Each structure stands twice: as structure tokens, then as C-alpha cells.
Structure 1
């Protein structure tokens, strides 16, 4: 598995989560089923971001730390959701605020590690 694939999939996931959550929350006061609007638009935005990462953005070495850091945010949110879903005693400990804090810390850590060791990221 290459860094390009990991970054592409992670950026697509992060973009989907951010766009879908923001649109669903912004439209919730006006539309009863705001998720029916937010989720498809989030899917499209995630696909566009993933394609842009694969085709154009990965070819710029200076952007690789940012791309991998941003992708780590999506993976961390997905991991926290999986733990919350699959481990019932952990549900009381996994909150939205805690998940977002964990995701941001993971993203910053990956960004700093990739910036420090750029030669360890494969094409």
C-alpha cells in the first residue's frame, strides 16, 4: 500500500465526513431530513477531493505531509466510531468532542512525522 493510496482514500473520507456533517447540521433547522441532502453532497465532495489528491496533489512533495495529516483525521474519526459501535462499554467514553480532539491530535502527529521523515513515505 503506497502513501498515495492512503492519502487519497483518507482525504476522500475526511472530506466526506466534514461536508456531510456541516451540511446536515446547517440544514437541520430548515429541512427535516437534512441528512438526505448532506450525505450525497458529502459523497460527491469526497470523490472530487480523492480524485484531485490522486491526480494532481500527490505529485507535489511539499503537500504530502498535509495530505497525510488530513487523511489521518478521517481515519481517526472512523476508528473512534468503530470502537464506539463495537465495544459497548466504551460508548460512554467516546463523545463527539473527544473524537474530534483525538482526530486532530492524530492529524497533527502524522503531519509532523511525515514532515520530519519525508523519505519514509513511498510513492
Structure 2
């Protein structure tokens, strides 16, 4: 299975989400519209991480399980946000407090599966 594009896009997504959320939250006390600073910087960081994953990091077979685990975190957060948006009864259940642990479990599972079946990942 060629997981390189899956990993590159997922790492880019995870990096974007992490950098944008962290920077927006850190600047919230000083800047009224901190998302206007956090989102563009998150996009730049996500693109850089995706390109680095595609071009350099994927070449090392030992780096593939952590990259796939990181990618799974971003995909799981995106899936939780989609469920929260599309299914109105789920909005009471899906929050940051439930989505982040769910994404963490998905990331650990993806890491362990990628490490176990490393010979099948190209």
C-alpha cells in the first residue's frame, strides 16, 4: 500500500490544526482577532510539514509509523468535527473534550498497526 500521500496530507492537516489552535489561543488575550494571525500561520506550517513528509521524512522506514499516527490524529479530529456539524444530536456529545481523546486513541492505534505491519507500507 502506498501510504505516502495519506501520511503527507494527514501530517499537514494535523500540523495546521495544532499550530492554528495553539497560536490563536496564545494570542487571544492580546489580539482581538487572533484567528486572523493563527490561521494563516497554521496553513504555512501545515504545508511545510506536508512537503517535508512527502519529500524527506517518508524515505526513512522507521519514521513511517509515527507519521501515520500523526496523520490519523488529524483525520480523526476532522471526522469528529464533521459528525458534530452534520449530525445535530451529536453536538451535545462531541466537543473538544471528547474529540481529542478519540483522536489520540486513533493515532495510537494507527501507530501500532503501522509498526506491526511495516513490511506492507510503502
Q: What TM-score, normalized by structure 1, do the two folds share?
A: 0.97
Q: Which residue of 1 aligns with 2:35?
A: 35
Q: Which residue of 2 aligns with 1:50?
A: 50
- 2:103 and 2:12 mapped to 1: Cα distance? 15
- 2:56 and 2:36 mapped to 1: Cα distance? 31
- 2:120 and 2:108 mapped to 1: Cα distance? 17
For the aligned residue pairs, the C-alpha RMSD in angstroms reads 0.8
- 1:64 and 1:4 mapped to 2: Cα distance? 9
- 2:95 and 2:117 mapped to 1: Cα distance? 32
Q: Within 5 Å, which residues of 2 pair with 1:67-86?
A: 67-86=67-86
**For this pair of structures, how many residues does the alignment match?**
122
Q: Which runs of 5+ in 1 are unaligned?
A: none
Q: Which residue of 2 aligns with 1:108?
A: 108
SS at match of 1:31: coil
Runs of 4+ in 1 over 3 A off after TM superposition: none
- 1:96 and 1:64 mapped to 2: Cα distance? 27
Deviations 1:17-53 (A, max 9, x none): 0000000000000000000000000000000000000
How far is the alpha carbon of 1:118 from its aligned partner? 0.8
- 1:85 and 1:98 mapped to 2: Cα distance? 15
Q: Which residue of 2 aligns with 1:60?
A: 60
Q: Which residue of 1 aligns with 2:98?
A: 98
